[in-house]
A = this chain, B = another copy of it.
C-alpha cells in the first residue's frame, strides 16, 4: 500500500493527521504540488480528477478523496474511533465533518484559490468577487460554531473526531487565504488551541 501525498496542502494534511491519530504508518510517495506533480501522467492514471492524496492498494485499486481514504483506515483500524461509534454517533460525526468541510474549509479554500496571486494557474478563471464573498461566509460559520463549542469540548461531541481534523486544518488555512483569526470567539480559540497542541498536529 502506498499513499501519494501532497505535503502541507489541506487535503493531504487531513489524511496525515488522521493516520497520526490512529498511529498508522503508511509508505508515502511524495508529490510536489508546487511543481504541479498532481497533474503528472502517473497521478492522472490513479485519479482522473488530478487531486491528492491517493491511496494505492496492493491489488492496484486507487482510492482518492480524503474522507474515502480515512473511511478505509477507520474500517480496518476502528480504534481510536474518529468517525463515530454507533449509528447515531456516526451520523452526528458525519454531519459535523461535512459542515466543517462544506461550510468552512470550502469557503476558506474558495477565498484562497480565487484571490491569491499564486493560484492564477490553478484556478482558471479566478473570480475575485467569488473569493471575496467566501471570507464572511467562513467567519459567519465560526460564529455559529462558537455557540456550539460553548456546550462541548470538541466539534462533534466529547471526543476528538475527523471533524476536528478538518476544522483545525481549515483554521490554519485562513492565513494564506487572508482571513483574520476571530480572536473574540473565545470558544473557537480554546478549541483551536487544544486540537493544534496534539502531537498529530505537528506531523
User: Which A residues have a C-beta under 8 Å from some C-beta of B?
Assistant: 48-49, 55, 57, 61, 63-65, 67-69, 71-72, 75-76, 86-88, 90-92, 94-95, 98-99, 103, 125, 127, 129-130, 133, 144, 147
A77 to B: closest C-beta gap in Å: 10
Q: Would A95 and B75 count as touching, CB distance under 8 A?
A: no
A161 to B: closest C-beta gap in Å: 13
Checking B48, B69, B103 against A91 with a beta-carbon cut-off of 8 angstroms, the contacting residue is B69
Checking B72, B98, B144 against A90 with a beta-carbon cut-off of 8 angstroms, the contacting residue is B72
Interface centre among A63, A65, A67, A90 (most CB of B within 10 A): A65
Q: Chain B contacts of A88 at CB under 8 A?
A: 57, 61, 63, 72
Q: How many angstroms between the C-alpha atoms of A7 and B1 in the bound complex?
A: 44
Checking B71, B75, B99 against A49 with a beta-carbon cut-off of 8 angstroms, the contacting residue is B99
Q: Chain B contacts of A99 at CB under 8 A?
A: 49, 65
Q: How many angstroms between the C-alpha atoms of A129 and B132 in the bound complex?
A: 14
**Can you list 5 contacts pairing A with B, beta carbon distance less than 8 Å?**
A63-B95, A67-B94, A68-B95, A71-B91, A71-B94
Q: Chain B contacts of A92 at CB under 8 A?
A: 61, 63, 68
Q: How many angstroms between the C-alpha atoms of A76 and B90 in the bound complex?
A: 11
Q: How many angstroms between the C-alpha atoms of A71 and B125 in the bound complex?
A: 36
Interface centre among A86, A90, A127, A130 (most CB of B within 10 A): A130
